[in-house]
Amino acid sequence: MVTSTRRPNDNSDTLDQFQYFILLAPILLFSMVAHEYAHGYAAYKQGDSTAYALGRLTWNPLPHIDPFMTIVLPLLTFVGSHGTMAFGGAKPVPVIPRNYHNYKRGDIIVSLAGVATNLLIALACLPLIIVVGIIGSAVPALAPTGAIIQTMLRFGIVINLSLMAFNLMPIPPLDGSHVFKYLLPPAWALNYQRIGRQGLLILIVLLTFGRPLLNLWFAPVFFLDTVATRAVFPYIIPSPWTM
């Protein structure tokens, strides 16, 4: 998984990257765990209990954490990109598609469960930002804490929209490829799935040299993030974190 992020206020230099990463990290971890949990839960409902049997159908983040992918890599990419991107991922939840009641339907449902969950989290952040803003305005003593929470929730919007967009890319083994393959003739679909062996390499090349293409793919994310920011702006608590 990947997330491309922008600070709630891209023009503010009052807070260093580490402070922002401390706020971003829990939201990123929760979003990745929720994504993987959704895959495991959907697979369980479709007839595959692999994730449940291996203890991965849990909200406890520890079983989902990969030391490098979940901790080291996001930190390195966040610092290296000056706070504009964090790249990383949780351990993929193991599933056995042949256990699904209906292979094709189950494959599509399980694949889309993660991105659907990220969309729901992004949408949930909107009313929470408003509620926190109303409480902060009514109780000034809570305003500083409220501003920090709002910053985390604003990260939650762009992080989850970005996770959704990235995982929908039709590059095996990303979630979008599990849907796209059913649009291809069977022979093409078989060769297409084999690309998954080089999937990580393709992603690294894309992230390194394909920035214009990524910017085009992620354009709807940043558009929706801008719309969301404008919608909640009247409720934002003025502070160094949010202004």
Q: Write out pLDDT tens, residues 181-195.
A: 999 998 898 888 888
Residue 24: pLDDT over 90:
no
Whether 240 has a pLDDT exceeding 50, the answer reads yes
pTM for the model stands at 0.87
Please report the pLDDT score of residue 4 as a whole number: 47
Q: Is the pLDDT of residue 18 over 90?
A: no
Q: Is the pLDDT of residue 54 over 90?
A: yes
Q: Is the pLDDT of residue 58 over 70?
A: yes
At a CB cut-off of 8 Å and minimum separation 6, what does 38 contact? Answer: 113, 114, 116, 117
Does residue 51 contact residue 43 with C-beta atoms inside 8 Å? yes
What tokens does 54 get?
Answer: 């291996």
Separation between Cα atoms, residue 69 and residue 85, nearest integer Å: 14
Q: Pick the residue with more confidence: 95 or 2?
A: 95
Which residue from 10, 1, 2 is spatially nearest to 151, judged by alpha carbons? 10
89 CB neighbour count, 10 Å cutoff? 21
Residue 63 has φ and ψ, to the nearest 5°, of -65, -15
In which band, very low, low, confident or very high, does the pLDDT at 14 lie, cut at 50, 70 and 90? very low
62-71, 78-87, 129-138, 153-162: lowest mean pLDDT where?
Answer: 78-87
